[in-house]
Structure formats: C-alpha cells, structure tokens
C-alpha cells in the first residue's frame, strides 16, 4: 500500500466542511478504491477560530492559502475559495508550479483562466480537476473529458443554474410573477441578495464556456457567449408555452454550425416530452447530442455543500489513483480558438409575444412584416378583446402569440423592428428561442 495522499484545503465554507466530513466518513471505501488513504493534513480559511463542527487541531493551519498551496506537507491542493482571480488564482498557480495537482470547484476561475492554468498543469505533469465547477455532483466533466471520448459531439445544452430553474418552475406551477418567485428564492437561500449573476445568465455562461471547451476541443472563451437572463419572462409566456406543448428553461447551449461554434445562454422553449423539460426546481441537467446516436442526459444536484464536496472528493480520488487526463481532454496546444458563430446567424424556431393594438389591419401589418423577412408561421394566436382574459387586455391592446418555423435571428429582429416602426404594438415584443430536442 502506498502512502496516503496528503490534501490541503483552502476555503472552509459549506463545501470545505462537507469535504472534510466526507473524507472522514468514507475513509475505508476510499482506501479500497484508491489503494491508498486520503488525508486532509492542512487547511486555510479566513477565520481560524470559527466553530465548523470539526477539529482543526490535527491539521496544519495556514493564514495564507498561497503558502498552503506550495507547502511541502501536501500532495494535492484543493481550492474552495472562489473568485475569478485574486488569491484563488495565485494559490492554484502556486500549487501547479510546485508540482502539486489541484482540485477546484471554481467555475469563474476556469472560465477566465482555464487555458492558462491547464497549460501550467500540463507543463508540471500534474492534474487540474474541476468536476464540481459545473453541475456539482453531476459527473459531466468526466463524462465529456473521458467517457464520451469516442463520440463526436454536435451539441451540448443544459440547465446549469438552479436558482433560475427554481424560479421558472415556481412561476410555471403556481402562476407567480418573476419578482415574487425571486423574493421567495432569496428568502429560502436559493438566490443571492444581489441575484444578477444568476438570473441574468452569467453563472450559466461561465459553466457553458467550460462544457463547450470539453465538448469541442476549443479554448474556454466566455466572451464568445451570447447571454440573456430570465428577468423578462412573464407568467403569460409560461402559460402560452404550456398550451403549445413547451416549457421555458434557461439553457446554456453550445452547438457546432457551419458558421462556427454558437454559444448562447437564454430562456428557451423546450418540448415538454424532452428529458430536460422534466427537470424541476434547483436540479441541473445536461444533454449531449453525439453524432449518430440518441441524446445522453445527465440529471442531478447542481449545488449544495454535500453534492459539491462529493464531486471534489471524486476528483481527489482520481489523483490518489494516479489517473490523470489533460484538463480539457487534450493538450492545450491543440485547443482551437473559438470560431464564434454570430448570434444574428442563429437559426431556429421563435416564440414571439406581442401586445398588439386592437384595431383593424394590425394582424395584416404584422403578417406582412414577417413575410417580408421570409418568416413562416407555424401558429398564430390572437385573442380579441372580448375573449382575452381581463389581465391581458391593456389599454386597447391584445396579446398576439406567434410561433415561427425555423428562421434566422436576423430576420426576426428586422421584422420586429419594422413592426415597431409601424406603431401597431405597444411595449417591447417578447422573443423566446425554441430549441429542438
């Protein structure tokens, strides 16, 4: 039996505390699996005195995580501090440069500096594992990096943010407004006091940038992602989606197109009978479309101390077993730059909800503008004032809901701009892309 793997952990929040508890509880099984023990021998955190429910005395304490990262007493450095730069980056770099493998749950760091850090890991022949950074306990990083090595991936998409899915689920199931659901999510701890990062799609974008790199062998490039959040979604959209056989989910989507790789985060209509549409509440899910076979979907807890820690621990176990794969599945030198498919060239079906002025000729005007852009309609629902629910009739306007056949983003934008100039609608049109699945 080899010597135990000595682990240093920087960051002792909920994930760090759960990790230390799991390492203790799973000692025997981990030793059997890895052929050696796993021991947390050193830690670093903001406050030494805080009661975390376990005894820090057996572990070496570091005020400075960077000092911990390069300390000779550890074999692997676990970064659980968070943040896209600063001390997290400095500590990870220090560990890699000192020839220590790194395990991190830090999506922001990887989205911003993933390629550079991967190159540093490669140069030093050490591992950089980050299963917990995307989808927490869902083993999607390993699945893309190793499990689907035999597959050519055409598209990957997922529900990567539990806060948004929780809000959309409650809006759909209870007919509540976005604002009310957000408040509830904040009260229950599912959303931050400043929820912008989650609800405007940036958290999803960071995770998507990592998945896209793993799926397509490209450099992580968050800036190549088109991002829209869910704050404009209204109960009327969810009700209309339901009637039409869809659900609305905030998806991160990366897809190969003839124009390059399209990466986008936006509210999306998905068919109710798809696996991803069934995913409710804070649960996450990722679907992988590989060439020539039916889709593969992974569903599971995408956040939480125990779920995140279990993924971190599996990454540590890989290090203990001596399994090492290039951080993005291939040498960084072979990662291609993203050829970004422009969003204007995006093609697909669209859901469009307009508040149309209730006067003769409105429908004809809208239809004409769509026809001018060669947009064909799969369905159009216009409720007349009498038939429309009271709530939908606003100062002489009625809702019109259009579903288009596949068309381009550019055509939709141009058509709606023209409709706007025609002054036949009030307010901003609501546009939700439909994802085939």
Q: Which residues are catalytic?
A: 207
- The span from the CA of 304 to the CA of 137, in Å, is 9
Closest distance of CB 400 from its own copies, Å = 33
CB 378 within 8 A of CB 405: yes
Nearer to its own copies, 35 or 86 (CB): 35
Q: What tokens were used for 228?
A: 């829209």
- The span from the CA of 134 to the CA of 141, in Å, is 7
- The span from the CA of 68 to the CA of 40, in Å, is 12
Closest distance of CB 334 from its own copies, Å = 5
Please report, in range form, the residues annotated as the binding site for NADPH.
Answer: 107
DSSP run (H or E) holding 265: strand 260-271
DSSP run (H or E) holding 185: helix 178-187
- The span from the CA of 379 to the CA of 400, in Å, is 10
Please report, in range form, the residues annotated as the binding site for NADP(+).
Answer: 10-17
- The span from the CA of 419 to the CA of 361, in Å, is 12
Task: Name 406's Cβ contacts closer than 8 Å, sequence gap at least 6.
Answer: 347, 348, 349
The secondary structure of 21-82 as a DSSP string is HHHHHTHHHHHHHHSS-EEEEEEE-S-SSS--SS-GGGSEEES-HHHHHH-TT-SEEEE-S-
Closest distance of CB 88 from its own copies, Å = 21
Give the interface with its own copies as residue ranges (CB under 8 A): 22, 25-26, 29-30, 32-35, 131, 137-139, 142-143, 146-152, 217, 273, 275, 278-280, 283, 290, 292-301, 304, 306-307, 309-318, 321, 323, 325, 329-331, 334
Please report, in range form, the residues annotated as the binding site for L-homoserine.
Answer: 192
CB 233 within 8 A of CB 421: no
* Residues linked to residue 265 through DSSP beta bridges, in sequence order: 227, 252
CB 350 within 8 A of CB 165: no
Closest distance of CB 153 from its own copies, Å = 10
Nearer to its own copies, 35 or 427 (CB): 35
Closest distance of CB 272 from its own copies, Å = 10
CB 357 within 8 A of CB 395: no
Q: What tokens were used for 57?
A: 């005395």
Q: Of the candidates 205, 177, 215, 187, which has an alpha carbon nearest to the alpha carbon of residue 330?
A: 215
Closest distance of CB 354 from its own copies, Å = 33
Q: Of the candidates 311, 252, 248, which has an alpha carbon nearest to the alpha carbon of residue 280?
A: 248
Nearer to its own copies, 168 or 398 (CB): 168
Tokens 């009739």 correspond to what residue?
Answer: 393
Nearer to its own copies, 63 or 174 (CB): 174
Helices (H), 322-435: 362-372, 409-421
Helices (H), 268-425: 305-321, 362-372, 409-421
Nearer to its own copies, 91 or 127 (CB): 127
Q: What tokens were used for 282?
A: 């804070």
Nearer to its own copies, 306 or 388 (CB): 306
Nearer to its own copies, 322 or 427 (CB): 322
- The span from the CA of 180 to the CA of 190, in Å, is 13
CB 38 within 8 A of CB 316: yes
Nearer to its own copies, 91 or 313 (CB): 313
Closest distance of CB 196 from its own copies, Å = 26
Closest distance of CB 323 from its own copies, Å = 5
């Amino acid at each position: 039996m080899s010597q135990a793997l000595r682990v240093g952990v920087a960051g002792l929040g909920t994930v760090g505390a759960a990790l230390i508890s799991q390492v203790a509880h799973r000692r025997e099984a981990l030793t059997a699996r890895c052929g050696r023990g796993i021991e947390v021998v050193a830690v670093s955190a903001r406050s030494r005195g805080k009661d975390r429910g376990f005894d820090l005395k057996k572990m070496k304490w570091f005020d400075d995580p960077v000092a911990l990262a390069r300390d000779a007493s550890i074999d692997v450095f676990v970064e659980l501090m968070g943040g896209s730069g600063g001390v997290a980056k400095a500590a990870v770099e220090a560990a890699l440069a000192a020839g220590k493998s790194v395990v991190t749950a830090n999506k922001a760091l990887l989205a911003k500096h993933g390629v550079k850090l991967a190159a540093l890991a490669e140069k030093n022949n050490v591992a950089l594992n980050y299963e917990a950074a995307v989808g927490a306990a869902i083993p999607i990083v390993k699945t893309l990096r190793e499990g689907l090595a035999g597959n050519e991936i055409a598209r990957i998409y997922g529900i990567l943010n539990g806060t948004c899915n929780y809000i959309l689920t409650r809006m759909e199931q209870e007919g509540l407004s976005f604002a009310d659901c957000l408040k509830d999510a904040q009260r229950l701890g599912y959303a931050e006091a400043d929820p912008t990062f989650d609800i405007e799609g940036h958290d999803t974008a960071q995770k998507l940038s990592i998945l896209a790199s793993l799926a397509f062998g490209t450099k992580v490039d968050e800036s190549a992602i088109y991002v829209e959040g869910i704050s404009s979604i209204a109960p009327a959209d969810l009700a209309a989606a339901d009637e039409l056989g869809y659900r609305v989910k905030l998806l991160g989507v990366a897809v190969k197109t003839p124009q390059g790789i399209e990466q986008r985060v936006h509210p999306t209509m998905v068919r109710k009978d798809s696996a991803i549409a069934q995913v409710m509440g804070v649960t996450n899910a990722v679907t992988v479309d590989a060439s020539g076979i039916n889709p593969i979907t992974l569903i599971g807890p995408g956040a939480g101390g125990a779920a995140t820690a279990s993924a971190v621990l599996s990454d540590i176990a890989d290090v203990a077993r001596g399994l090492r794969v290039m951080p993005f599945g291939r040498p960084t030198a072979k990662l291609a730059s993203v050829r970004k498919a422009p969003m204007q060239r995006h093609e697909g079906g669209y859901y469009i909800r307009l508040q149309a002025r209730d006067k003769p000729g409105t429908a004809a005007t809208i239809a004409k503008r769509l026809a001018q852009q060669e947009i064909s309609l799969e369905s159009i629902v216009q409720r007349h004032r009498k038939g429309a629910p009271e709530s939908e009739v606003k100062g002489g306007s009625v809702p019109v809901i259009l579903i288009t056949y596949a068309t381009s983003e550019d055509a939709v934008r141009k058509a709606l701009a023209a409709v706007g100039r025609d002054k036949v609608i009030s307010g901003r049109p609501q546009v939700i892309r439909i994802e085939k699945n």
